[in-house]
């Protein structure tokens, strides 16, 4: 199904995108590496070293969303989240975590193939300046992470590497952020021409496959 609205039971545009990205979506949310994070058992080294490179392109993509959003009110949530990543919260976590793992945040180790592909997709969306496509890629990254992090139950792992990574992707603020991204897709998607809907779906699916492969890479022995 490549057109939204063909199925009468389809609830929202974002839900249609998610359902059209199965089985990869469920594979990300239920991935064994995510389960290992929740249990405090995941070896975070390769994952965080690679994710620090992911976050660079992700931050640039947030900047593109600020520029491409159609109104001041729509730009504000991107600006707010951009601030969180760029300042103490996420950047601070990466610096502390990489230091604890004996890694240098300033080093730029070779990207794994999936990291390079993910960065290429985000850079493509950024330079394309097509707002719904930009939102689709951001939405996959955040919504799928909310999906696995929501599986965590108290007590969270004691070690900060796992506990804080879960907390960064869960909680009322992160839920509201994901709700905003989904809301943008739900607001704009249904009125898009068929070829643009197909472009948005293609970006959403590609990002979902890359999320799955990213966890596969992290879990590799
Ligand atoms: C690969 C990946 N995807 C998503 C996220 C959540 N921002 C992340 N940090 N890394």
pLDDT at residue 84 in the model: 84
Q: Which domain holds residue 209?
A: 13-219
Question: Counting Cβ atoms within 10 Å, is residue 48 exposed (0-12), middle (13-18) or buried (19+)?
Answer: buried
Instruction: Verify whether ligand 1 is closer than 6 Å to residue 145 (CB atom).
Output: yes
| Residue 21 clears pLDDT 60, i.e. is over it | yes
Give percent of the chain above pLDDT 90.
Answer: 89
Any idea which residue has 């601030």 for tokens? 83
Residue 164: the pLDDT is: 97
d(CA 200, CA 182): 13
| Domain presence at residue 3 | no
Residue 205: predicted pLDDT: 98
The verdict on residue 49 lying in a domain is: yes
- Ligand 1 centroid, distance to 24 Cα (angstroms): 15
Q: What is the CATH number of the domain that holds 58?
A: 1.20.910.10
- Residue 5 inside a domain? The answer is no
Query: Does 89 count as an annotated binding residue?
Result: no
From 215, 203, 165, select the one nearest 21 (Cα to Cα): 203
Alpha-carbon dihedral 83, 87, 93, 98, rounded to 10 degrees: 120
Helix orientation angle between 72-86 and 45-68, rounded to the nearest 10 degrees: 150
Round to whole Å and give the CA distance between 97 and 105. 9
Per residue in 106-125, pLDDT (tens digit) is: 888 899 999 999 999 999 99
- ipTM, two decimals: 0.98
Residue 9 pLDDT class (50, 70, 90 cuts): low
Model confidence pLDDT, tens digit, residues 151-203: 999 999 999 999 999 999 999 999 999 999 999 999 999 999 999 999 999 99
Does the CB atom of residue 211 touch ligand 1 within 6 A?
yes
54 lines ligand 1 (CB under 6 A): yes
Tens-place pLDDT, residues 43-89: 999 999 999 999 999 999 999 999 999 999 999 999 999 988 877 78
Nearest to 135 by CA among 193, 180, 83: 180
pLDDT at 1: 57
Lowest mean pLDDT among 25-29, 104-108, 129-133, 184-188: 104-108
pLDDT score of 3: 80
Quickly list H helices, the chain.
Answer: 13-19, 24-29, 32-38, 45-68, 72-86, 88-100, 113-128, 131-149, 160-168, 172-188, 194-219
Query: Residue of the nearest CA to atom 10 in ligand 1?
Result: 51
Query: Any known ligand binding at 104?
Result: no
| Options 112, 170, 184, 211, the catalytic residue | 211
Is 112 annotated as catalytic? Answer: no
Number of domains in the chain: 1
* Residue 1: inside a domain: no
Question: Is the residue at 8 inside a domain?
Answer: no
What is the best residue among 55, 165, 175 to mutate for testing ligand 1's pocket, by most ligand atoms within 8 Å of CB? 55
């Amino acid at each position: 199904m490549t057109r939204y609205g063909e199925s009468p039971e389809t609830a929202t545009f974002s839900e249609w995108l998610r359902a059209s990205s199965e089985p990869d979506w469920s594979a990300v949310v239920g991935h064994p590496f995510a389960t290992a994070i929740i249990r405090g058992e995941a070896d975070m080294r390769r994952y965080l070293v690679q994710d620090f490179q992911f976050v660079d392109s992700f931050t640039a993509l947030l900047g593109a969303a600020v520029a491409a959003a159609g109104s001041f009110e729509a730009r504000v949530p991107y600006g707010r989240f951009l601030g969180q990543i760029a300042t103490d919260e996420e950047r601070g976590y990466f610096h502390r975590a990489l230091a604890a793992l004996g890694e240098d945040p300033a080093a730029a180790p070779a990207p794994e193939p999936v990291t390079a592909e993910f960065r290429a997709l985000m850079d493509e969306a950024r330079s394309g300046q097509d707002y719904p496509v930009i939102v689709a890629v951001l939405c996959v990254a955040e919504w799928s992470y909310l999906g696995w992090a929501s599986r965590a139950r108290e007590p969270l792992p004691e070690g900060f590497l796992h506990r804080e990574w879960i907390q960064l992707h869960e909680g009322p603020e992160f839920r509201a952020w994901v709700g905003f991204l989904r809301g943008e897709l739900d607001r704009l998607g249904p009125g898009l021409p068929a070829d643009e809907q197909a472009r948005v779906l293609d970006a959403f699916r590609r990002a979902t496959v890359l999320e799955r492969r990213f966890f596969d890479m992290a879990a590799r022995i």
